[in-house]
Structure 1
């Protein structure tokens, strides 16, 4: 990959994220249209669709040969059919967006031949842009981020979606998460995976654990975590697959081995 090309992708990702903020603000001045997808807890709004369409249009206008994989599926994309694929979550944390109009984010990533090259996660309510290019470190609003590397589990603050996940409850993972909570300083449940991964990269969280995320959920956050020097794999320690639904264990490098062993001992 040419560094200039990656820079251009990064500029586009940041431009799209900030443009999404303006569109969201405009649409929030009118009544919000909310519908269900699979259930009452699986929501989509008119804003989700509008933001995704705007980002798709911006990407395809500049890079018509690229693929786009978005949460709302507004374009048909088979990731392996393209050398370069963009992963777009227009509103990650839609339930938070509907109920609180905060604690949500826009997540945009560019992958080339299955490897994330650019990741941007933008929290419009806090005006915080988490950004990374492969090999270039991770930044928050242009300031470099670096995690503390001497963390112990008793000092750790982590987040998860395991407590209410049916598969986790049936398999015993949610019970393990409860036991793990007693080994740490505390647990937070934000309900917005991309932002939680960004918080691991920023050292605001020391780990994030989830049983099943879509590729647009972790698309950008994966690179943020890696560029911060943290570890991110599936819950069984394998490489996170490209373009597929996956479990996620993202953690401070000093805590990763302990967490992996804790979660995989006595397999469930």
Structure 2
């Protein structure tokens, strides 16, 4: 069901790209929402409620009428993760859908409609990219790692000095990248295209599905300080190959305190 919702939502977003896109600002000129975001979220919500009327939904555009906290089973959805990319580039955006039961992640789906790439995982059953099973078995050293981060323009990161730590980290690792879609970036860690991802202040719908995928692929996903990730709250996120997880965690936290 989650895969079906993600694929139909992705198809809808691609169809709407053929038409002029109405763009609105949320909090600033860099925080965008489009009519397509709202339409896609509504489409997904309707499909879920029709099949599972007793489930709750936590979505970026807050179009679910109930209180997500009242439900044991919660769908966490981002209709278009990477709206700025959707508007400007028409690539590097994704549909993110996760299912949690009593706070435990059961299903994670991240679909990139522009490339027709489906990342998905079911708890205890592994992670996949289309039909290929994903597994982080390569022993990667931190200095060999290709990392991804979005901390450089985060105000909280500046306040506590994490941005400067990550700049030093950039000089230690093989390279740094930024795609502009957290769900895709974390999924890329699961696929081995990136070795690690670090970010401050992500919303639950940004990482809810992808963290399940990276964990089922054998990776590690926690807060930047090593604490467990919440499932329904904003949080920092560190997801990476387990071979250098502890070294990365210590680099980020011991140098910055």
TM-score by length of 1: 0.94
Q: State which drifts further: 128-137 or 17-26.
A: 17-26
CA gap 1:77/1:241 in 2 versus in 1, 3 angstroms: farther
1:39-94 Cα deviation digits (max 9, x unpaired): 10000001100100000000000000000000000114443311100000000000
Structure 2 Cα separation of the partners of residues 172 and 192 of structure 1: 23
CA gap 1:181/1:267 in 2 versus in 1, 3 angstroms: closer
1:91-123 Cα deviation digits (max 9, x unpaired): 000011111011100000000110110000000
Structure 2 Cα separation of the partners of residues 103 and 64 of structure 1: 32
Q: How many residues align?
A: 257
Quote the offset at 1:170 in angstroms.
2.0
Instruction: Point out 4+ residue stretches in structure 1 off by more than 6 angstroms.
Output: none
What pairs up with 1:34-73 in 2 under 5 angstroms? Answer: 34-73=23-62
Unaligned segments of structure 1, at least 5 residues: 1-11
Do the aligned residues in 2 keep the contact of 1:97 with 1:104 (CA within 8 Å)?
yes
1:170 counterpart = 2:159: yes
Unaligned segments of structure 2, at least 5 residues: none
Quote the offset at 1:148 in angstroms.
3.5
1:167 is paired with a residue of what secondary structure? helix
1:208 counterpart = 2:197: yes
Corresponding residue of 2:11: 22
Corresponding residue of 2:92: 103
Quote the offset at 1:150 in angstroms.
0.9
Structure 2 Cα separation of the partners of residues 119 and 231 of structure 1: 15
Do the aligned residues in 2 keep the contact of 1:159 with 1:208 (CA within 8 Å)?
yes
Structure 1 Cα separation of the partners of residues 234 and 150 of structure 2: 15
TM-score by length of 2: 0.97
Pick from 73, 76, 79: which aligns with 1:84? 73
1:144 counterpart = 2:133: yes
Structure 2 Cα separation of the partners of residues 19 and 218 of structure 1: 20
1:252 counterpart = 2:241: yes
Pick from 120, 124, 128: which aligns with 1:135? 124
Do the aligned residues in 2 keep the contact of 1:159 with 1:188 (CA within 8 Å)?
yes
